[in-house]
Amino acid sequence: MADFKHPFDVLVAGGGNAGLCAAISARRAGARVLVLESAIKDFRGGNSRHTRDIRYMHRGATEFVTGAYEEEEFWQDLRGVTGGATNERLARLTIRDSETLGDWMAANGVRWQKPLRGTLHLARSNLFMLGGGKAMMNAYYDTAAKLGVEIDYETEVQELKVRDGEFISAVAVRGGAARAIEAKTIVVASGGFEANISWLKEYWGEAAENFIIRGTKNNQGVLLKELLKHGAKPEGDPRGCHAVALDARAPKFDGGIVTRLDSVPFGIVVNKEVKRFYDEGEDFWPKRYAIWGKLIAEQPDQIAYSIVDADALPRFMPSVFPPLEAGSIAKLASTLEIDPRALVAVVDEFNRSVRAGKYDPGSLDDCHTEGLTPPKSHWAKSIDRPPYYGYPLRPGITFTYLGVTVDEQARVIMQNDQPAKNIFAAGEMMAGNILGRGYLAGFGLTIGSVFGRIAGREAARHGGF
């Protein structure tokens, strides 16, 4: 355990990617740094341990990326997904600063690999961590420890003492015992609030009970609430969350990447009342999977069922839970515990309306339905080859968008539009400033790394280094 007798220069609340980037930067500047991580050591790293790649700006191909990805293209991609819900100044700062990330991360122990099979669409823009996010976090913790950063696990910062925008001390709880921790500055990097179901209920009602949280259960938003209480200016849609379609059998927390399901465009999806509710073939799945979380959240009991036949099954990535299987549509419905006659009717109607064309999962093909509401615009193919397979689906929350406003030095902006004196924020805590809506693969890590480094550097500077 860390020595609390003398005040720390920099207290970092949260031991994920942003927190460790801040801690390493501050420590390298010479500051005495304490990281408090609420999880046990095995689960350290928050949602970062479920990541696998990071988007960064670069001017040419390297051993690990296939070509250039420069500022303007990066910015246009970001503007596209957010529909303008971004702060261009901070966004461009993030993009430009990301250029040095590859070397910085490697210098701090992170190792790269060639893009994974099946993710080649990211081969040009994103760097892939060898072993993924947990391996990256292991490297950062190792580096931080070697540099002399003090780290306490199973220690949660629960309260902040703030006076006139100035951080005084924090109350940290470990094993039920609370203690005050003094530091010259604080970097708050404790993530969003997506694991706080009762907070989610404020916006989503009882439906939130049926949400699956893809990442850590530690993201309770305690310090986000604390900062807002102390007058930090909020940023981002409080109701906003990145919600995808997941296998309903996924664990409630920390299921990570493997519980995703890619079956939707290869069949039909019905809700509990055995009604289709959205065009399963509207666009390519990587562009649509993030709207399906919200779509399912709006269905009765927040559940839906993806139905495919034997012809479709080998066409998508294997998923971690085997599909439910039956020799007939009626039997499959019984297995899924939905009305068999209704499902037979829905599948029959769908099959009758299919206008077969040249089937091609690799393009927006001309296989579509006619006279069906809602339609299936592409990849419409009769579901008629037994055995039939079903996957139950639920909304899976990746992260929330609500955060605190920050400036270019990662300082938290208060309600009076003035920056707090010695409070910095990094990671999901402030990502909403830059990514106010939508998602760009590997960009959460970019924001966390860039602002983590800035927050660490600026906090150390404020502490006199």
Partner 1 sequence: MADFDLVKDGARQMTICNACRYCEGYCAVFPAMELRRTFTKGDLVYLANLCFDCRACYYACQYAPPHEFAVNVPKLMSELRADTYREFTWPGMLSGLFKRNALAVSAITASSMIIILGLVLALKGSAVLLGTHVGEGAFYRVVPFVAMTVPPSLIMLYGFVVFIVGAVRFRRETRGPISDLVDGSALWRAMKDAFGLAYMKGGGAGCNYPGESFSRSRMWHHHLVFYGFLLDLAATSIAAFYHHFLDWHAPYPYLSAPVVLGTLGGIGLIVGTLGLLYLKWKSDRAPADSTMRSLDIAFLVMLFLTSSTGLALLALRETPAMGTLLVIHLGVVAGLFITAPYGKFAHVVYRYAALVRYAIEQRRIESPDHQN
State the minimum distance, in angstroms, from the CB of residue 195 to partner 1: 15
Quick one: 3 or 42, whose CB is closer to partner 1?
A: 42
Query: Is residue 58 close enough to count as binding partner 1 by CB under 8 A?
Result: no
Render 165-195 in DSSP notation, one character per residue. TEEEEEEEEETTEEEEEEEEEEEE----STT
Q: At what angle do helices 329-336 and 340-353 cross, to 10 degrees?
A: 130
94-102, 310-318, 386-394, 421-429 -> range binding partner 1 (CB under 8 A): 310-318
Query: Is residue 330 close enough to count as binding partner 1 by CB under 8 A?
Result: no
**Pairing, β 241-247 against β 388-400:** antiparallel
Query: Is residue 256 close enough to count as binding partner 1 by CB under 8 A?
Result: yes
Can you tell me which of 4, 79, 131, 294 binds partner 1, judged by CB under 8 A? Answer: 131
Query: Is residue 116 close enough to count as binding partner 1 by CB under 8 A?
Result: yes
Query: Is residue 340 close enough to count as binding partner 1 by CB under 8 A?
Result: no
Can you tell me which of 27, 44, 134, 457 binds partner 1, judged by CB under 8 A? Answer: 134
State the minimum distance, in angstroms, from the CB of residue 358 to partner 1: 18
Quick one: 320 or 372, whose CB is closer to partner 1?
A: 320
Q: What share of the chain is helix, strand, coil (3-state, %, to 5)?
A: 35, 25, 40
Query: Is residue 49 close enough to count as binding partner 1 by CB under 8 A?
Result: yes
Can you tell me which of 173, 258, 310, 330 binds partner 1, judged by CB under 8 A? Answer: 258
Cα–Cα distance measured from residue 335 to residue 351, given in angstroms and rounded to the nearest whole number: 21
User: Which residues, numbered 25-44, are part of the site for partner 1 (CB under 8 A)?
Assistant: 40, 42-43
Query: Is residue 320 close enough to count as binding partner 1 by CB under 8 A?
Result: yes
Quick one: 117 or 163, whose CB is closer to partner 1?
A: 117
284: part of which helix (H) or strand (E)?
A: none
Place of tokens 């439910």: 324
- Do 24 and 140 meet the contact criterion of CB atoms below 8 Å apart? yes
Render 232-268 in DSSP notation, one character per residue. BPEES-TT-EEEEEEETTS-SS--GGGGB---GGGSE
Query: Is residue 249 close enough to count as binding partner 1 by CB under 8 A?
Result: no
Render 380-444 in DSSP notation, one character per residue. -----SSSEEEEEEEEEEEEE--EE-B-TT-EEEBTTSPEEEEEEE-GGGTGGGT--SS--TTHH
252-260, 266-274, 354-362, 384-392 -> range binding partner 1 (CB under 8 A): 252-260
State the minimum distance, in angstroms, from the CB of residue 431 to partner 1: 21
Query: Is residue 381 close enough to count as binding partner 1 by CB under 8 A?
Result: no
State the minimum distance, in angstroms, from the CB of residue 147 to partner 1: 15
Residue 451: other Cβ atoms inside 10 A = 33
Cα–Cα distance measured from residue 170 to residue 4, given in angstroms and rounded to the nearest whole number: 12
- Site size toward partner 1 (CB under 8 A) is 33
Query: Is residue 194 close enough to count as binding partner 1 by CB under 8 A?
Result: no
Cα–Cα distance measured from residue 313 to residue 167, given in angstroms and rounded to the nearest whole number: 56
Residues that bind partner 1 (CB under 8 A): 40, 42-43, 49-50, 52, 111, 113-114, 116-118, 128, 130-135, 138, 142, 251, 254, 256-258, 260, 314, 317-320, 322
